[in-house]
Amino acid sequence: MRSIGRISAAVSVLALVNGPAMAGEGAFGFLSGDWYLTLGATGMVAPSFEGSKKYMFSAQPIISLGKAGSETRFSSRNDNISLALIDGGGVRAGLNGKIIFGRDAEDELQGLHDVRWGGEVGGFFEFYPTDWVRARAEVRHGIRAHSGIVADVAVDAFHDVTPTIRVSGGPRVSFATDDYFDTYYGVSAQEALTSGISQYDPGSGMKSAGVGGAITWKATDNITASLFTEYSRLMGPAADSTIVKERGSRDQLTVGVSTSYRFDFNL
């Protein structure tokens, strides 16, 4: 893909809630209280599409609006939009969502179908087996972009080197159903003729396995900056895809920096 500096938005509408509103409070009772708005930007170098061997620079705005609840011990850039319905400190669970941006059939994908923008909705569960390790799982169903199911599991160890600098990292693994793989990795007979890529009809299975890490600096109570990197190795139906074998790479690396400012307010 030739576009450089492509802007994709990652909008988190509700990121953390201590729990659902009491039945007698009503909508306005839920809206009242302490809220926060986080604004910032992320710049990264990453594959131009999932499975690509070519890299490009992209910028993502950070926009996060949420109702302040109990303080979260750890959060990762991999965490998607979350609304906690259960928050016991050591255990959190609730609703989860992700915005997905489209994929144009350009350059090495010429002749394949475009992938529409859409989203994924589902749930998440996370817990702390120790004070310095968090395990989190997300299961989401595709909307519009694809009709499959995706499951992501990540374990992160974290350590505060100083009161303002934290290092973190750990393994990641992802699974998906055949409907997801067909959208992003499948090649129909007609597409094989128009693209020159061999036909491929994927099944379900593991999508990728890898590791990620970050160094986060809390400059002030409101300003946070981060340097991060993620590596994943495509597995199963993704690795077997003719798109990856003939035009792409199983190795996927992302390196980037981000900074954000948190505004606190009360309704």
- In this structure, what token pair is assigned to residue 74? 């750890």
In this structure, are residues 21 and 252 in contact, taking their beta carbons and an 8 Å threshold? no
CA pair distance 58, 134, nearest whole angstrom: 29
CA pair distance 210, 204, nearest whole angstrom: 19
In this structure, are residues 83 and 95 in contact, taking their beta carbons and an 8 Å threshold? yes
Which residues contact residue 75 at a Cβ distance below 8 angstroms, ignoring those fewer than 6 apart?
none
pLDDT score at 27: 45
pLDDT score at 124: 93
* pLDDT per residue rounded down to tens, the chain (267 residues): 434 333 333 344 334 333 343 344 444 565 677 777 778 888 999 999 999 999 999 887 777 666 665 566 788 888 887 777 787 778 989 888 888 888 998 888 999 999 999 999 999 999 999 999 999 999 999 999 999 999 999 999 999 999 999 999 999 999 999 999 999 999 999 999 999 999 999 999 999 999 999 999 999 988 999 999 999 999 999 999 999 999 999 999 999 999 989 888 887
For residue 21, give the 3-state DSSP assignment.
coil
Phi and psi, residue 249, nearest 5°: -150, 145
pLDDT score at 31: 67
In this structure, are residues 48 and 1 in contact, taking their beta carbons and an 8 Å threshold? yes
Amino acid at 62: I
H helices of 142-231, in order, are 178-185, 189-195
pLDDT score at 194: 94
pTM for the full predicted model = 0.81
Q: Using CA atoms of 100, 106, 111, 115 in order, give the dihedral in degrees to the nearest 10.
A: 10
- In this structure, what token pair is assigned to residue 267? 């309704």
Helix count (H) and strand count (E) of the chain? 5, 13
- In this structure, what token pair is assigned to residue 187? 């090649």
Amino acid at 60: Q
CA pair distance 214, 170, nearest whole angstrom: 10
Identify the bridge partners of residue 160 per DSSP, sorted by sequence position: 166
